[in-house]
Amino acid sequence: MVVSETFTLGRITLLALADSVNPCEIAVLTMVLVSILLANPRNKKKVLFAGLAFSLAVFIGYLAYGVIIIQFFKVFAEFLRESSRYVYNGLAILAMIIGALNIKDFFFYKAGSFGTEMPIFMRPKVKKIIGNITSPKSAFLIGFVVTLFLLPCTIGPYIVASGLLSELGTFGAIPWLLYYNLVFILPMIVITLIVYLGLARVEDVSGWKEKNIRKLHLTAGILLFLVGLGIILGWI
């Protein structure tokens, strides 16, 4: 199966969008902004630079994870070539399962749900780590560590996307990984700018996330389910 038939811009965009509205991402960023505000209550520029530095760290970290996932798929390249249709259908089914889990969270929400949110036991550790952020530099460095804690709730769509891109090879996939991760961190950049410009307080963003958490899961779930269904039916 040739590359042009195995992935499209639409697939990667929808997967990235589904990943970007994950409540985990928003929750962690608000903790970062609260930490930097407590350390620098009158310095809005530090809030801006810290939010952007943290977003950049997440971007770089996830780019590295994408390369690693693609290397994993390349190890089984021979098998993938001979059974590509089964592999892509498997990735599609994975997207649909993760989508269904997110849709479930709209109707039966439970904090720390498997595959859709950061496990409860990780949260105090993450909060403690983020509490050490006092400057843009520390936001950048700690951002790399925090990406490991984000993986349980964000890695699913990324595995699907990286699997679809793996046939391009590492260098061929990198532009798409850059695009995916830019879309992924876009809400973090927007939230940082909103807080910096004074359009909303960090507490407002956090409250909005809590109020709309079910809808965020529903949005991500529908996007993921449609991507999986579209791949199986040949729509995208």
Q: How far is CA 79 from CA 87, 161, 167, in A?
A: 9, 18, 12
Residue numbers of the domain that contains 107: 3-233
Provide the whole-model pTM. Answer: 0.89
| Sequence-separated (6 or more) residues with CB below 8 Å from residue 74 | 166, 169, 170
176, two tokens: 């798409």
How far apart CA 164 and CA 158 sit, in angstroms, is 10
116, two tokens: 């859709």
Helices (H), the chain: 3-6, 9-20, 23-39, 44-75, 77-82, 84-107, 123-130, 136-165, 169-196, 202-211, 213-233
Nearest residue to 73 via CA among 12, 163, 171: 163
Q: Return the biggest CA–CA distance within the chain.
A: 60
pLDDT of residue 91: 87
How far apart CA 25 and CA 209 sit, in angstroms, is 10
**Dihedral over Cα of 228, 229, 234, 236: its sign:** negative
Confirm if 217 and 102 have CB atoms less than 8 A apart.
Answer: yes
Q: pLDDT (tens digit, 9 = 90+) per residue, 81-109?
A: 666 677 778 888 999 999 999 999 999 99
Please tell me whether residue 93 adopts helix, strand or coil conformation: helix
Q: Measure the CA angle with vertex 176, ends 141 and 119; round to 5°.
A: 50
pLDDT of residue 83: 64
Per-residue confidence of the chain (236 residues) as pLDDT tens digits?
444 444 568 889 999 999 998 888 888 999 999 898 888 777 888 889 999 999 999 999 999 999 999 988 877 766 666 666 777 788 889 999 999 999 999 999 988 887 788 888 888 999 899 988 888 999 999 999 999 888 888 888 999 998 888 888 889 899 999 999 999 999 999 999 999 998 988 889 989 999 999 999 999 999 999 989 988 887 76
Number of structural domains found in the chain: 1
